[in-house]
Amino acid sequence: MKSTTRRSFLSGLAALSLPPLFGEEARRPRSAVIVVDIQGDFTEARKGSLAVAGTDEAYLRSVAEATAKFKAAGHLIFATQDWHPADHVSFVTNHKGRKPFEVIKINGRDQVLWPAHCIQNTKGAEILLDAGLFTKVVQKGKDRRFDSYSGFKDDGGARTEKESLLREADVREVIVYGVATDFCVRATALDAATAGFKVTMVRELSRGVAPDSVEKALADLRTAGVSVVDSLPLLA
Ligand code: VGL
Ligand code: ZN
């Protein structure tokens, strides 16, 4: 009898003094990790068609270990996966007479012509991390007409489910790393910042295509308010 009275008194007090979010179904703001494009075709370890310098087995191990630590610390873990149809506009093989890495204009946009990579359902498109790490894998670049460096939207403006997934999970802060620093990591971190998330980009877990475009990308990120760090205390 006495304990009943006391419990109802306490829950009445809680209802008065705490904001609505702190009820039984309270959802704390969370942080999420976005692991960008850790796929066979982008890695030297798998002799990928678009292998980014420094993506050896040791790099893959460091990304796997770090991601497991972030997960153990309670972060939600998302991946992006470049997932192109074979006739994708970004493939040099789909433009007669062009050379790899040439830049052409398509409907007024600059398009780099890449070696064919990350073709849907091929080995090269596989993510090289344990699938059990991920809350969700978000695929991008599926529309043959548009490239999509960002995990949030493609060059035609079509959105992936990324932003709504983060909002549904009450995510406020995101940590971004992976490949390539100067393309997909850059674009994903910039779009995360534009969407209002507090963004941290981790350099030691990222690799880029070319040193000068990496420096430029890091400058762009800092300008956009992204915190660019070499590492994080959790990884020490
Ligand atoms: C990427 C070029 C083409 C990337 C994807 O993951 O950075 N780069 N597609
Ligand atoms: Zn691509």
Going from N- to C-terminal start, the domains of the chain cover 24-84+116-230
Q: How many CA atoms lie within 13 A of 65 on its CB side?
A: 11
DSSP characters over 22-86: GSTT----EEEEEEE--BGGGBGGGT-TTPBTT-SHHHHHHHHHHHHHHHHTT-EEEEEEE-B-T
Our CA angle for 88, 120, 153, nearest 5°, is: 60
> Does residue 183 have its Cβ closer than 6 Å to ligand 1?
yes
Per-residue pLDDT of the chain (236 residues; tens, 9 = 90+): 444 444 444 444 444 454 555 544 556 778 999 999 999 999 999 999 999 999 999 999 999 999 999 999 999 999 999 999 999 999 999 999 999 999 999 999 999 999 999 999 999 999 999 999 999 999 999 999 999 999 999 999 999 999 999 999 999 999 999 999 999 999 999 999 999 999 999 999 999 999 999 999 999 999 999 999 999 999 99
Look up 105 and say whether it is catalytic. no
In short, whether 37's Cβ falls inside 6 Å of ligand 1 is: yes
pLDDT of residue 15: 47
Mutate to test the pocket of ligand 1, among 38, 113, 114 (most ligand atoms within 8 A of CB): 114
CA–centroid distance, residue 49 to ligand 2 (Å): 11
Q: Whole-structure pTM over 0.95, yes or no?
A: no
**Secondary-structure class of domain 24-84+116-230 per CATH:** alpha beta
